[in-house]
Chains A and B, each alone.
Chain A
């Protein structure tokens, strides 16, 4: 099969076919892209069956997909294949049970921005809604407000808005399924491959690895299309996807 994300129709309706050999976070991104491209075909509030081939998605991933599809205006009817084990445990409990490893990397002073993630931080008020996904990503299902800072050693996904004055820092990618107005710093320990994605990218400042981009001065029209920031040829580039 060619695409990692595709649609199929059956008697129950539309099925979202996923190729789970793709890394989960890139898959999420492709889903967003696919659904955005197919928005006229899908319409609003479509109920989808999520089919993940032979691979059984774990509870955290199911949750992430559910919230992801909801944030795009759709509902999940069912997951295929169905849950394989531990059907009694609620998905939420299951997903939080996997704690991440805190890397105790000494903060070298060389990179001017590196000290920003000397330790992982999730504000106490957000720990209830923070879920560690199986492949080392952290998903937060709430708006991140001014003064709240989330620092994570891995990929960070926020299902909600990130307001001005809030700060997201991650060694991996940062995905915001909502409006990003605060500061996001992806690849904070020097990973230039890291990206920042937001369904509405309105940050005053973005950082990837040791590069900083700031919004132009003066009033800017609000951006409402999904955009992705990454480093291309040593320049921080923001593009529509």
Chain B
């Protein structure tokens, strides 16, 4: 029996789609059978981030309305044989599917695969309700910004009201040097406000932009620090106990030397 995990945030642009793509791909890289499902109807992006846009024939609306079979609507990933994408429709809107339809799709998928990662649209309206309809667990993505944290707090409340208590937090785009200087909220500041379990912290990384444009999830890039952070998150989802990585950017030779002489 598979597990449905919805990736949500309230605020737009904090990295829901990137997180969904990386967690899904990361789980597939660990040998799991995974379906990524984009519920952002009308503003689909997950297909682009996964580099699968040219393969779309059917979408979630076609599946929901019975225009095609579930299997036909599952696009096979080009990297992993057991990773699939169900894209959103671009020419429709959020009302094109109902909560019951999404619930039914999730229930059917759970029989087939290990994980269903649902990419939720921004906002708290119908699209959000659709996205969480069939979910067993929730991941809340936020940035170290007051506005994003506030929206995350609102979302956590809504998730609890819909039977999705204990969501886990992914803190995205953290810049350690700004935190050090007191210009950015720290992980602890945010956890104090949101009071939920931390799933992972992703450093701000230019590679994300490059990999997103190329349609190659960062989690597969062994050099990328954000990729490492996502790999750790995947391991935590699979039940491993992985400590938080050191976010400090690699220091130069002289800084290391200095540290050595200081004795720490």
The yes or no verdict on A and B being binding partners is yes
- On A, residues with C-beta under 8 Å from B are 112-113, 115, 146-149, 164-167, 183, 204-205, 212, 214-215, 217, 219
- On B, residues with C-beta under 8 Å from A are 42-44, 51, 53-57, 62, 67-68, 72, 78, 90-91, 214
A96 vs B239: C-alpha distance when bound (angstroms): 64
Q: What is the chain B residue whose CB lies nearest that of A148? A: B91
Q: What is the chain A residue whose CB lies nearest that of B51? A: A217
Of the residues B54, B68, B90, B91, contact of A217 by C-beta under 8 Å = B54
Shortest beta-carbon distance from A213 to chain B in Å? 9
Query: Which residues of B have CB within 8 Å of A214?
Result: 54-55
Of the residues B53, B67, B78, contact of A164 by C-beta under 8 Å = B53
Given contacts A115-B67, A147-B42, contact A215 B54 (CB under 8 A): yes
Q: What is the chain B residue whose CB lies nearest that of A150? A: B91
Query: Which residues of A have CB within 8 Å of B62?
Result: 115
Q: What is the chain A residue whose CB lies nearest that of B215? A: A217
A183 vs B55: C-alpha distance when bound (angstroms): 11
Shortest beta-carbon distance from B29 to chain A in Å? 19
Q: Which 9 A-B pairs have the closest CB atoms?
A: A149-B91, A204-B54, A214-B54, A165-B90, A215-B54, A115-B67, A147-B90, A205-B54, A204-B53
Given contacts A112-B68, A217-B78, contact A147 B91 (CB under 8 A): yes
Decide if B91 touches A167 in the complex (CB within 8 Å): yes
Shortest beta-carbon distance from A150 to chain B in Å? 10
For the A-B complex with A113-B57, A115-B67, A149-B91 known, give 6 more contacts whose Cβ atoms are closer than 8 Å.
A146-B90, A148-B91, A165-B44, A165-B90, A205-B56, A217-B54
Given contacts A147-B42, A217-B51, A217-B78, contact A167 B90 (CB under 8 A): yes
Query: Which residues of B have CB within 8 Å of A164?
Result: 53
User: Can you name 10 A-B pairs with beta carbons within 8 Å?
Assistant: A115-B67, A147-B91, A165-B44, A165-B90, A166-B91, A204-B54, A205-B54, A205-B55, A217-B78, A219-B214
A146 vs B51: C-alpha distance when bound (angstroms): 17
A14 vs B214: C-alpha distance when bound (angstroms): 48
Query: Which residues of A have CB within 8 Å of B54?
Result: 204-205, 214-215, 217
Query: Which residues of A have CB within 8 Å of B42?
Result: 147
Q: What is the chain A residue whose CB lies nearest that of B78? A: A217
Q: What is the chain B residue whose CB lies nearest that of A206? A: B54
Q: What is the chain B residue whose CB lies nearest that of A212? A: B57
Q: What is the chain A residue whose CB lies nearest that of B41? A: A147
Shortest beta-carbon distance from B167 to chain A in Å? 30
Q: What is the chain A residue whose CB lies nearest that of B42? A: A147
Shortest beta-carbon distance from A116 to chain B in Å? 9
Q: What is the chain B residue whose CB lies nearest that of A149? A: B91
A164 vs B90: C-alpha distance when bound (angstroms): 10
Q: What is the chain A residue whose CB lies nearest that of B45? A: A165
A51 vs B263: C-alpha distance when bound (angstroms): 90
